[in-house]
Structure formats: C-alpha cells, structure tokens
Amino acid sequence: MNFQQLRIIHETVRCNYNLTEVGNALFTSQSGVSKHIKDLEDELGIELFVRKGKRLLGLTPPGKELLEIVERMLLDAKNIKHLAEQFSQSDKGQLTIATTHTQARYALPRVVSQFKKAFPKVHLALYQGSPNEIAEMLKDGPADIGIATEMLNLLPELVAFPYYSWHHAVIVPKGHALEKKRNIGLEDLVQYPIVTYHEGFTGRKNLDDAFLKAGLNPDIIMSALDADVIKTYVELGLGIGIIASMAYQKERDTKLTLLKSGHLFEDNTTWIAIRRGHYLRGYAYRFIEYCSSELDEVRIKQALNPQVESEIE
C-alpha cells in the first residue's frame, strides 16, 4: 500500500469514477490508475468498487469505509507539511478565506487590514462564492476558513462559530412614498416590486419565511448575489430593496433612504467555519481572533478536538 494508491481512491470518487480524469489529475495514465486500484484490492483481499465490465460505478461497502480512512490520512499528510511550515516559517505562507460577496465587501475589510499589518508576509487569498461553494472549498481543502450566513453550521464535517448577528433593512429611492410612513409593515412592502438577494444567499430564507408567515406574496422582480447590484437597480427605480443592514452606507448611498425595518425580519447569524481535522497555522488563529475576540486559539482548538480536553480531565 502506498500514498499514490490512496490518492487514486480519493480522486476516483472526486472525478465521479472517470479514470481518464483521475489519470489527468494525478499526471499518470488510465491504465496506471487501473493497475494501482487492482493492486490495492489484491493486497487487501476485497473489492473496493462496484463494476460493470471495465467501468466503475461506485464504492462497495468496504470501499466506502476505506474512503473515510483515506481522506483522514491524506488530510493528516497535508497537516504534517503545514506543521513543518508553522515552525520553519511562522510569519510566511498563504491563508485562504472563502466567503460571500457581502462578507468580503462589508464585514471583512477591517479584519483584513488589521491582519495584513500584523502579517505582511502572509499572502491572503480571498475567494468569493455561494455558501455551497464555500462549504465544498472547506471540505476539499483549498480553503482554511469559511465565512457565510447559510449552511456552514449545519455540516458535520465542519466546526462553526458564531461571528456576528445582523438584520435585513429596506431601502428605497429618495422621495419614495414609504419615506413618509412612520411604522412600515410587511403589508406595506408587498405594495411595491422588490429587489433582493438570490435564494440561498445572505439570509434570503428569513425574508421568505417572514412573508410566508404573514400570508403575503411579495413581488420579487429581481434577485442578485450582492447588495451593490441590488442598490443600483433600486436607484434606477425598479422597486424597493431588501439588503443586509451593514451594506447601506449613508455617505455613499446618497440616492437611497434606509427605512426603519429591523422589526420586520428575524436576525441572522454569520458563521466562521473550519474543517474538522484541518491544521491551522498560527496566523490563521489570529485572523479568526481579529474577527471576534471571543474566538481565541484555545477555544477553537477545544472545539476542533473536544476529546483532547476530556482526556486531560
């Protein structure tokens, strides 16, 4: 048994059992991939893959259990490399953050600025995507830290920590009729076309749930991934907007009015997530602590490895 065989098992599943793609990913031939798989099965004395002729269709029950072990072993191998870098180059390296546009644009600039002053030699890679994409980046390894409102706290492979709470806000063009109304309700909003976030982004579910509970059917004429696009089309008069409250900036959004609407929708929580078993460099812990002073290295490590604490006790 060797690491190349383990990588092939992992890549075969990742490439949906297409051995040509596996070979390309690992810079080897399809026949070489097939031979490695056959050699490993012969050594273990079990079949790892369900076959139809020469095609692989999926994993057998022992193959599924082996895959879990393989993924842990490959992750630990990567962690060994990170551990060496931690002590040989403690202030150098790369930190990869996967987050949504809203977080990157409005929540993280202060944190990034503080981090870069403390760790100028660390390359900070900031990837923006959907909550699904962020979760996949965490599970597959490219991302060290994920930050989003949706999904991250629901996956067993991840450990998620509350970052901060926020609420949605209603924006209208200057001079809009709703500016004159003191206490707006959901029934007032449904009188106008609405521009807001795509489903699955930036607390959209809470918006939909609020209207559903009130028995109202809003006319959402347009949805977008980020608040800047929503604000642009509200300025053009396409409708009223519902955005994350921190996305409204009075000094910049001079053509818009922010209405008092925090009471209309439930609060949202943005989460910071890490994959279980993923080794973090020291500066990664500092980045998280810059996000929230309550999330220090000790607390994070205890959450990632609760069995260690129980063994000490």
**Distance between CA atoms of residues 94 and 238, nearest Å:** 42
* Domain 168-266 in the same topology as domain 91-163+269-312: yes
Main-chain phi, psi angles of 56, to 5 degrees: -95, 130
Model confidence pLDDT, tens digit, residues 83-132: 666 554 556 789 999 999 999 999 999 999 999 999 999 999 999 999 99
Fold classification of 3-83 is: Arc Repressor Mutant, subunit A (1.10.10)
Inter-CA distances, 220 with 179, 192, 247, Å:
20, 9, 19
Model confidence pLDDT, tens digit, residues 41-67: 888 888 888 888 888 888 998 888 888
Q: What is the pLDDT of residue 35?
A: 87
Model confidence pLDDT, tens digit, residues 264-288: 999 999 999 999 888 888 899 999 9
Model confidence pLDDT, tens digit, residues 185-232: 999 999 999 999 999 999 999 999 999 999 999 999 999 988 999 999
**Distance between CA atoms of residues 136 and 295, nearest Å:** 23
**Distance between CA atoms of residues 59 and 129, nearest Å:** 30
Question: How many CB atoms neighbour CB 29 within 10 A?
Answer: 13
Q: Does domain 91-163+269-312 have CATH number 3.40.50.10860?
A: no
**Distance between CA atoms of residues 256 and 139, nearest Å:** 40
**Distance between CA atoms of residues 272 and 288, nearest Å:** 8
312 pLDDT exceeds 50?
Answer: no
Q: Which residue ranges make up each domain of the chain?
A: 3-83, 91-163+269-312, 168-266
DSSP state letters, 154-171: G-TTEEEEEEEEE-EEEE
Q: What is the pLDDT of residue 236?
A: 95
298 compared with 313, residue with greater pLDDT: 298
Query: Which residues in 177-188 are b (16+ Cβ under 10 Å) and which e?
Result: ebeeeeebebeb
Tokens describing residue 148: 């989003």
User: 258 CB contacts (<8 Å, ≥6 apart)?
Assistant: 169, 170, 171, 245, 248, 250
Q: What is the mean pLDDT of the chain?
A: 89
**Distance between CA atoms of residues 41 and 57, nearest Å:** 16
Tokens describing residue 12: 């075969």
Inter-CA distances, 146 with 34, 124, 159, 309, Å:
36, 13, 10, 25
CATH class for the region spanning 168-266: alpha beta
Q: What percent of the chain has pLDDT over 90?
A: 57
What's the whole-number mean pLDDT along residues 8-35? 87
237 pLDDT exceeds 70?
Answer: yes
pTM of the model: 0.70
Nearest one of 138, 92, 93 to 272, comparing CA atoms: 138
The neighbouring-strand residues paired with 125 are 96
**Distance between CA atoms of residues 164 and 176, nearest Å:** 31
